[in-house]
Chain A
Amino acid sequence: MADIGLMHYLMLAAALFCCGIFVMMTKRNAIGILIGVELVLNSVNINFIAFDRYRLIHGLDGQIAALFVILLAAAEAAVAVAICMNLYKNLNTIDVDRGDALHG
């Protein structure tokens, strides 16, 4: 077995990404979808860090980008949870399929 290289990280990220996508596609529960989103974001983070580590990105940009993504994820989670709360308040459920009021 060779050293763990960039390829491995990318594989991991891809796997994680696919998991996230899968979760988002299958879940009807809002929180579940949120978790899927987080998975996707984190897979991206892994990519960033990996590229950065292997000097494929100039300077510390990759790490900084990852930090941004984390920040963004936090903000997004806050907003998403707030939406969930509102959804629940209005519909008494967090099944996203039920929230179809805007469906034309």
Chain B
Amino acid sequence: MSNYETYLAIGVVIPLISFVILLFFGPRLGKPTAGWVAVSAMGASCVLATMTLVGWHGEDSIARMSLTAAASHNQFHWADLGAVAVRIGVKLDSLTVIMFFMVTFISFWIFVFSIGYMAGHSDEVAGKSKYHRFFCYLSLFGFSMLGLVVSSNLLFLFIFWELVGLCSYLLIGFYFDKKFASDAAMKAFITNRVGDFGFIFGLMMVFFFLHTLDLDGAAAEFAHQYRSESGIFEQGFVINLFGWQLSGMTLATAMGIGLFCGAMGKSAQFPLQVWLPDAMAGPTPVSALIHAATMVAAGVYLVARVFRLLTPDAQMFIAVIGCITLTLMALVAVVQTDIKKCLAYSTLSQLGYMIFGLGVGAWIAALFHLMTHAFFKAMLFLGSGQVIEGCHHEQDMRKMGGLMKKMPMTGLTFLIGVLAISGFGIPGMGVGLGGYFSKDEILAVAWDRSYMWNEPIEHHGDAGHAEGDLQSTSAGTSVAVRIVPEGRSDNSPAIHRRDPMPTVTRSPVGTVESTPGLHPSLRDSNVSGIRNPPAINRRATFDRPYGADRDVAALTAADTPDHRNAESSFRLVSDPHAAIPSEPRDSSRADAPTSIKAGIPALPKWLFWCALITAYVTPFYMMRCWWMTFMGKPRDQHVHDHAHESPMMWFPLVVLAVFTFVASYWVFRPMIADAAAVATNAVAVVGLDGVADTAGQAHGELIHVHDAHHWLATGVGWSWLIAFVVAFLIYRNGLALGSKLKALFGPLATLLEKKYYFDELYGFLFVMGCRAVAQVCRFFDTYIIDMFANLAAKITERFAAFSGRGVDANVVDGVFNGLAATSMDISNLVRSPQTGRIRNYVLFAAGGAAVVILLVLFLVSPLAPGTMLSAINP
């Protein structure tokens, strides 16, 4: 076990220990101490995470690969699914490290904030202190979320997935004596369960297709199936489902969509978005931590993790869902008056951006957006918590205004958050906050996919361009992959991209190859389904043996703001020498057919335009929110008088603000880009190859997309300014103009205020529907099924009527009473000879015996009486 792995494992366990301590000794620890226990536990985790991050940052990419590989060997055999072993371990790669750091860091500061928050807030539920409970749940959440991040196995990911859901349930319902809180908690959990249903379906499909639930193993198997002649993607592979002929591709798409359904639940994507705004019923730190920064991002994280299993269609589905969410929710945010609800809808919209980004293939940008969003959204929520706390539990922005003077730190940090989420930056100079880069990058890729998607062309760099050697180790295969940087010419990627080459096919197989060979140390690993894979070696551009250019590592090179890349676009080329020499090679398979593996389609253009327009909406509502709260004249004197801020609460804000400023681009972006190399390599086989081709970029060569689409860069880049100005013009003199505009839009505004009537629709359709069906079932059970039992009894009872009792009330009395009566009747009949007198019985017995003997002798027995006697007399 490497140090990092140990750090991460311990980092996961510490919050669990804190949870256990608080669970058993919480009441005794009392009010501030219990909180400090949780804080110090999370702090310890955070220190470990920082150590890991720093150490990891110092490793070169080759070392990272081998550490990742080593971690994947080091697993605990948890259970067996049939013959398939389920192993759990720490998934150690750049993405894990950075997510881990993000979660612990934000959690730590939110825990600190919580102490301040709970000091002034009621921790009592119906007069009983629940202070320790709060931190107890928070610790459990920390444990679950960290577990989710480090899980190397989909099943375990799912387990932690549900645990964070549980924590969310418990924390939303923290003030469970209030009906709305428990309602919201229930709604959150059940809505998530709907998504989980899809997730379970996805798990089943993964298990079905890929025979493993291990993330890497599944990805490797997926890639293998993709390449294999007899894999599930071949024409011949069809499943007959009651007459439906489902091809392997369809099923794989269903698998991807199934897994994504889980993300739809947790990340509150359309149409399961309904729970997140309600979840704001929980205490504000909870909203910040769980429902803005970490848990809701878990869905995005999941999609990123299973990115390698997504087919082009599934990606398209994801993109569409993300786009719908980001657009619809941003519009709702415009009309919100509750400060937390406004932030909640903005969270939904931003999550939509991330999902959209993943859907269009902007893996790096989406995760980068996740990171930056986590920081500034946590900060925004904490700021709103400070405001709410300071304003005496007032959440309505219409009653605020002019708080800047009273809460300067909050207002300032809030403004930074607003700027960050709005994508503040100066185009052309490479200066901006995190949101600026991440959102622009998503949009750039979307534009690329929509408009630059004519002929995905494949390029061949020459051998000299070998930059890195990337070994993706999984439970069954060791794929030696090379990254070929191509189209290095930064200034003309688009031209290069369009360069028509007659030999080009859109087949990804042509561009991405690898040589799966059984890694010696894994040869006996318990993964079924990997059958002596063909050593495909069709377009090997390299002859050098595996490892020869290990030292050439430029994976994170040139990672500056000016070198932003549309995608993890890199080329994977097989290395014939990577296979273990002793491994038998099937040369006859060298030219395996490419078959149906079509490339990915171009994006519908409306997706891009929706996302682009929303980029203008976002700064507008955020600025509106800030302005209404902090600027202008105080609208409610009482609230204004009460307003104050406390250092315990604004200090975390400042820390997060600093991080929003500093760390976002220069630390996170390269790390994520580094993770992309491993996390997406297999999917490049299916989904990203097109992007890889189009962008024509080596991974180590992060191209500045902005330069390629300058008008786009300018258009998006300045969106924040335009929207800010609009918001300022509308709200600078109070709310009057806003109300007028609202009246102008009339029904549309109502539609938005009612959140498109989703709650009503679902309430009617599903909640009422389900209860109605349940009532029908109950009726059926009580009356119909029992009726059959009764019927049997009744028939017997009719029969019994002949015994002399006659048909009377018994019949009406029904079921088993009737049966009882029947037995009574029969016994009455039978008991008439039962006189209770022994002599009668003896008489019957003797008489009966005599009759039987006579019968036997003369009728039944074949023996005549004479023979009987002779048998007795020898």
By a beta-carbon cutoff of 8 Å, the part of chain A in contact with chain B is 5-7, 10, 21, 24-28, 33, 36, 54-56, 96-97, 100, 102-104
Contact = CB atoms under 8 A, between A and B. Distances in A.
Contact of A24 (B835, B836, B839, B873): B839
Contacts of B831: 104
Given A54-B874, A55-B874, 14 more contacts: A5-B873, A7-B872, A7-B873, A10-B872, A24-B838, A24-B839, A24-B842, A25-B842, A27-B839, A28-B839, A56-B872, A96-B837, A97-B837, A103-B836
A28 B838 CA distance: 8
A51 to B, nearest CB: 9
A36 B764 CA distance: 82
21 contacts: A6-B872, A6-B873, A7-B872, A21-B842, A21-B846, A24-B838, A24-B839, A25-B839, A25-B843, A25-B846, A26-B839, A27-B839, A33-B838, A54-B874, A56-B872, A56-B874, A97-B837, A100-B836, A102-B836, A103-B835, A103-B836
Interface residues of B, number: 13
A28 B839 CA distance: 8
Between B831, B835, B839, B872, the greatest number of chain A beta carbons within 10 A of the residue's beta carbon is seen for B839
Interface string B617-644: 0000000000000000000000000000
Contacts of B835: 103
Nearest to B827: A104
Nearest to B874: A54
A103 B834 CA distance: 8
Contacts of B839: 24-28
Interface string B837-874: 11100110010000000000000000000000000111
B654 to A, nearest CB: 92
Contacts of A7: 872-873
Contacts of A56: 872, 874
A93 to B, nearest CB: 15
Contacts of B874: 54-56
Interface string B637-670: 0000000000000000000000000000000000
A55 B872 CA distance: 10
Contacts of A96: 837-838
A103 B840 CA distance: 14
A38 B874 CA distance: 30
Contacts of B834: 104
B73 to A, nearest CB: 73
A90 to B, nearest CB: 16
B871 to A, nearest CB: 9
Closest 4 CB pairs of A and B: A25-B839, A103-B836, A24-B842, A21-B846
Contacts of B873: 5-7
A54 B835 CA distance: 42
B841 to A, nearest CB: 9
A65 to B, nearest CB: 17
Contacts of B836: 100, 102-103
Nearest to A27: B839
Contacts of A21: 842, 846
A27 B837 CA distance: 10
Nearest to B836: A103
Contacts of A26: 839
A57 to B, nearest CB: 12
A54 B839 CA distance: 34
A25 B837 CA distance: 9
A39 B288 CA distance: 96
Contacts of B838: 24, 33, 96
A21 B848 CA distance: 13
Contacts of A28: 839
A100 B838 CA distance: 11
B240 to A, nearest CB: 66
A103 B872 CA distance: 43
Contacts of B842: 21, 24-25, 36
A24 to B, nearest CB: 4
Nearest to A21: B846
A75 to B, nearest CB: 19
B70 to A, nearest CB: 78
Interface string B524-568: 000000000000000000000000000000000000000000000
A10 B868 CA distance: 14
A30 to B, nearest CB: 9
A33 B872 CA distance: 32
Between B835, B843, B873, the greatest number of chain A beta carbons within 10 A of the residue's beta carbon is seen for B873
A96 B841 CA distance: 13
Nearest to B837: A97
B348 to A, nearest CB: 76
A25 B838 CA distance: 7
Interface string B420-435: 0000000000000000
Contacts of A5: 873
A6 to B, nearest CB: 6
Contacts of B846: 21, 25
A104 B831 CA distance: 8
A94 B873 CA distance: 44
Nearest to A20: B842
A39 to B, nearest CB: 12
A25 B873 CA distance: 32
A7 B869 CA distance: 9
Between B837, B838, B874, the greatest number of chain A beta carbons within 10 A of the residue's beta carbon is seen for B838
A41 B414 CA distance: 105
A6 B838 CA distance: 32
A47 to B, nearest CB: 11
Interface in B813-834: 831, 834
A24 B844 CA distance: 12
Nearest to B840: A25
A100 to B, nearest CB: 5
Contacts of B837: 96-97
A60 to B, nearest CB: 18
Nearest to A26: B839
Nearest to A96: B838
B849 to A, nearest CB: 9
A104 B832 CA distance: 10
A96 B874 CA distance: 45
A66 to B, nearest CB: 18
A7 B868 CA distance: 12
A28 B842 CA distance: 12
A2 B236 CA distance: 98
A76 to B, nearest CB: 14
B854 to A, nearest CB: 15
B823 to A, nearest CB: 13
A100 B837 CA distance: 8
A87 to B, nearest CB: 12
Contacts of A36: 842
A21 B838 CA distance: 11
B617 to A, nearest CB: 88
